[in-house]
Amino acid sequence: MNNLEIRELISKLFSIEIETISNNATQKEISKWDSLQHLNLIVEIEDKYDISIDPEDISAMISIDKIVEIVNKYKNV
């Protein structure tokens, strides 16, 4: 997984233009990224990559870079 894949997923899920999402965007920088959308994003990621993310990692996934890092950790297990 890479930053572009997450940006595409966020763009689709949050209905925002991908060009408005930087490679290292954080939850605070994307107004539509609230707690409900965060859970929707996690569900989409888990479904797409066939992984199950631990709650402590879910709460840490507050930036695109961190999402990529955590998802790649689970994909390599």
| CA angle in degrees (0–180, nearest 5) for 31-32-34 | 95
Could you give the angle at which helices 35-49 and 3-14 cross, rounded to 10 degrees?
A: 130
Q: Residue 26: beta bridge partners?
A: 63
The confidence score (pLDDT) of residue 77 equals: 64
pLDDT tens profile 16-37: 999 999 999 999 999 999 999 9
Cα separations in angstroms, 33 against 28, 36, 38, 76, 77 = 8, 8, 6, 27, 28
pLDDT tens profile 35-68: 999 999 999 999 999 999 999 999 999 999 999 9
pLDDT interval class at 1 (50, 70, 90) = confident
Please report, for the chain, the start and end positions of each structural domain, with discontinuous segments joined by +.
3-75
pLDDT interval class at 74 (50, 70, 90) = very high
Tell me which DSSP letter residue 18 carries: G
Query: Taking the chain, what is the end-to-end CA distance rounded to the nearest angstrom?
Result: 14
The confidence score (pLDDT) of residue 61 equals: 97
The confidence score (pLDDT) of residue 46 equals: 97
* CATH, domain range 3-75: 1.10.1200.10
